[in-house]
Structure 1
Amino acid sequence: MASSRLGLRLAVCLLNISEARQQDIVERIAKAALCNKAGQKQTQTSVLNIFSDYDYNRSVLTLAAPVETLGDSVVTACTEAYNLIDMEHHDGIHPCLGSVDLVPIYPLSESVSLEECGKVACDIAETLSHDVPGCSIFYFGYADQPLKRNLVQRRKEVNWYKRSNLNVNEIKPDVGAVISPRYGLTDAARPA
């Protein structure tokens, strides 16, 4: 746990989910972030903000916790999002790829390194691929070792910006299965 000399070692996840029009779903995902996989309350996790854009049909949940436990909160929120959001029925003007579209991890405390945030992102991806069979994830930033490609580079590689040329059958995720129409593709990392 956190050293009393250093205080809490905090990190934040700006969890992007592909839902904004059904607030009850967004709220269920936010509430899931406050618990661990066993359903026990994570007392040091906070949902600092929820921003929803109706036209994009996308919400960003700002989750903060000690870096040692943030991953558990993100996994429970992502698992709930995968269960509740079906990309085959998604409609919005934002060109999102997945039910859980983006999982960037940032340090909030000086004692938390970028490399540590990258490891948290990798641990989240590995856990999700085990807990949610059929989800697929690719890395960027400090999670994408040794290349550390940024999000724009990774999205260009999969033709994310040219939706008409996007062929999900040709995309090889870093973690998980072949991309499913239900879950889509998730980006996970600590940005460079």
Structure 2
Amino acid sequence: MASGTLGRHLVACLLNVSEARRKDLVETVAKAALYNTEAGVKQEGTTVLNIFNDHGYNRSVITIVSSIHFIREAVLSACDKACELIDMRAHAGVHPCMGAVDLIPIYPLGEEVGVQDCAEEARAVAQGLTERVQGTSAFLFGWADSPLQRGLAHRRKEMGWFKKTPDLQAIRPDVGPQPQRRYGLTGVGASPYVMNCNVTIDTQDITLGRSIATAIRESTPGGLPGVQVLALPHEGAVEIACNVESLKGDPPGYLAGEPWPSFSIDSQSYCHAPASLITARVAELAEAQGVGMKGTALVGFAPHECRGLAEFALSQGIGEFWKEQHRIRM
């Protein structure tokens, strides 16, 4: 099959699981996306591009890419394994979380798949998870949350995700029973691609970190469009952890001096703030307070890079691409 054909109908799931300190466990979850353990066969047309482990947060992000026709089974297989191996009653970490499988976002990777297609798959994944693993429950966000299409930050706030100890008994999930401490609660949704960009500043002053987070947040006048952000203690410093949502149309005129990556879905153009712009804005605000930078990390990839790597991995038959990516330069 030609790589151009392989590139059709691709979607990405950036699966967030509440474990990072047992890397073998996380890799077992990733492999479950690639191999149907019951049948003992490889999932068709699926690759795991990346595993991002964060020890301090005790959270990992597994980048699964597949045809939309196969993504449901790949994701459910990984979730099944994660729920078997991760017990939220024993979880500890700095990053807020509510579920053993904390987040299942599904994104289209090109013109061939629409966001509504991903929303249908997300709803099917939420239903499938609660049927396969008895006791799991889910809330829906983005395009999967029909007809309201409430965003992830909005739904997380409603569910108490930002609280230090969420009250599971007060939560009314969209799918499944009342959340149990064993599995917690999983967010499942769909949207245009959301990039994760974490910028670390060289301070332990969380109050300063929060002021910077507030300044760059989309909801703040003068903030960066599409940027949702938390400031969290991280390995002796403070991390400005950003979800960078894709925006319809062209970059905002007042920020268009720097190239904004763009792509198209359903003949609609989208763009997102570049990591370099976010880093520069954080650096400027930190420097004004006499604080330096420690670095920037992308959790996974930008949309174009994700699609390009997936097409390459699938054309070469590489399922466990996360093991190969450091020696392969595109």
Q: Structure 2 length as normaliser, TM-score?
A: 0.55
Shift in CA distance, 89/5, structure 1 to aligned 2, threshold 3 Å = closer
CA distance in structure 1 between the partners assigned to 2:22 and 2:5 by the alignment = 44
Per the TM alignment, residue 35 of structure 1 is displaced from its structure 2 partner at its CA by 2.2
SS in 2 for 1:154: helix
SS in 1 for 2:104: strand
Partner in structure 2 of residue 20 of structure 1: 20
Contact 1:87 1:183 in 2 (8 A): yes
SS in 1 for 2:70: helix
- Which residue type is aligned with residue 176 of structure 2? G
Shift in CA distance, 182/6, structure 1 to aligned 2, threshold 3 Å = closer
Contact 1:6 1:111 in 2 (8 A): no
- Map 1:1-192 → 2, pairs under 5 A: 8-36=8-36, 38-164=39-165, 166-191=166-191
SS in 1 for 2:111: coil
Contact 1:151 1:191 in 2 (8 A): no
In the comparison of the two structures, how many residue pairs are matched? Answer: 188
Q: Percent identity?
A: 49
Shift in CA distance, 111/21, structure 1 to aligned 2, threshold 3 Å = same
SS in 2 for 1:26: helix
Contact 2:8 2:112 in 1 (8 A): no
Q: Structure 1 length as normaliser, TM-score?
A: 0.93
CA distance in structure 2 between the partners assigned to 1:191 and 1:38 by the alignment = 32
Per the TM alignment, residue 160 of structure 1 is displaced from its structure 2 partner at its CA by 1.8
Larger RCO of the pair (alpha carbons < 8 Å, separation 6+): 1
Contact 1:11 1:70 in 2 (8 A): yes
SS in 2 for 1:92: coil
Give the gaps of 5 or more residues in structure 1. Answer: none
CA distance in structure 2 between the partners assigned to 1:38 and 1:150 by the alignment = 37
Per the TM alignment, residue 161 of structure 1 is displaced from its structure 2 partner at its CA by 1.7
- Which residue type is aligned with residue 135 of structure 2? G
- Which residue type is aligned with residue 171 of structure 1? I
CA distance in structure 2 between the partners assigned to 1:7 and 1:27 by the alignment = 25
Contact 2:138 2:173 in 1 (8 A): yes
Residues 141-170 of structure 1, C-alpha deviations (whole Å, 9 max, x = no match): 011000000011101112222335x31101
SS in 1 for 2:13: strand
CA distance in structure 2 between the partners assigned to 1:109 and 1:48 by the alignment = 17
SS in 1 for 2:34: coil
Residues 168-192 of structure 1, C-alpha deviations (whole Å, 9 max, x = no match): 1010111111101010000000036
- Which residue type is aligned with residue 158 of structure 1? M
Contact 2:142 2:149 in 1 (8 A): yes
CA distance in structure 2 between the partners assigned to 1:113 and 1:43 by the alignment = 21
Per the TM alignment, residue 109 of structure 1 is displaced from its structure 2 partner at its CA by 2.2
- Which residue type is aligned with residue 188 of structure 1? V
Per the TM alignment, residue 6 of structure 1 is displaced from its structure 2 partner at its CA by 9.3
CA distance in structure 1 between the partners assigned to 2:154 and 2:16 by the alignment = 19
- Which residue type is aligned with residue 28 of structure 1? T
- Which residue type is aligned with residue 9 of structure 1? H
Per the TM alignment, residue 5 of structure 1 is displaced from its structure 2 partner at its CA by 7.7
SS in 2 for 1:188: strand
Per the TM alignment, residue 98 of structure 1 is displaced from its structure 2 partner at its CA by 0.4
Per the TM alignment, residue 76 of structure 1 is displaced from its structure 2 partner at its CA by 0.1
Moved over 3 A (4+): 4-7, 36-39
Contact 2:44 2:70 in 1 (8 A): no
Higher Rg of the two aligned structures: 2
